[in-house]
Structure 1
């Protein structure tokens, strides 16, 4: 009889465990909603990171455009100054020294110079 009681108690305990596990289990709808919220939150964070990265890149690109514009103006001023000096030297009868060879990279930008 003692064995029957123990077996009965084991069955009751198992049934209680199953019932409590079933009650604690989440519904498919709850799981889908929580999954959607988790994915949405994760996507929101990823979008914020991308927006911050794009903003940094736009700021850096603007700085580079300004720097290039300033460099272009400086090079233009230097070219004008060199032409003026060479013209002055030729006018006074002095020939300027021959120019050093130009690199191919520099030639791409100042190939039109007659100095």
Structure 2
């Protein structure tokens, strides 16, 4: 065999080997249906975990807001109780002086259920 023949044969062998390697690597790089499903599940799971974390933070914020509102309502209740006692004391003092306190304005409808009218 001549040098040219060896060159041609070796070029053919290299070409066939290159083609086989390309086919094999293409087949190996292809994602199987199982891989695709697993990756889709991972994406969905990660998205759900992220959303659950966000919802958890939102619930924590709402609980803190609710706690602050409870404290404000408790303080307002104490203030209203103090003011009622103060008005009753002043009304008693005015009546004991022989005077009559001025007439009160009508009670707004929204406040009617919270006001005891025994003053």
Normalised by the length of structure 1, the TM-score is 0.79
Output the CA distance in 2 between the equivalents of 1:113 and 1:79. Answer: 11
1:38 aligned to 2:36? no
Look up the match of 1:82: 87
Q: Of 79, 92, 96, which aligns to 1:91?
A: 96
Q: Deviations over 1:38-63 (max 9, x none)?
A: 11110110001000000000000000
Q: Name the residue aligned to 1:113.
A: 117
- What is the TM-score normalised by the length of structure 2? 0.76
Deviation at 1:22, TM superposition (A): 4.3
Which structure has more relative contact order (CA 8 Å, sep 6+)? It is 1
User: How far 1:23 moved relative to its partner?
Assistant: 4.0
Which of 14, 19, 26 is 2:31 aligned to?
Answer: 26
- Aligned residue-pair number: 99
Q: CA RMSD in A?
A: 1.8
Q: Which has the larger radius of gyration?
A: 2
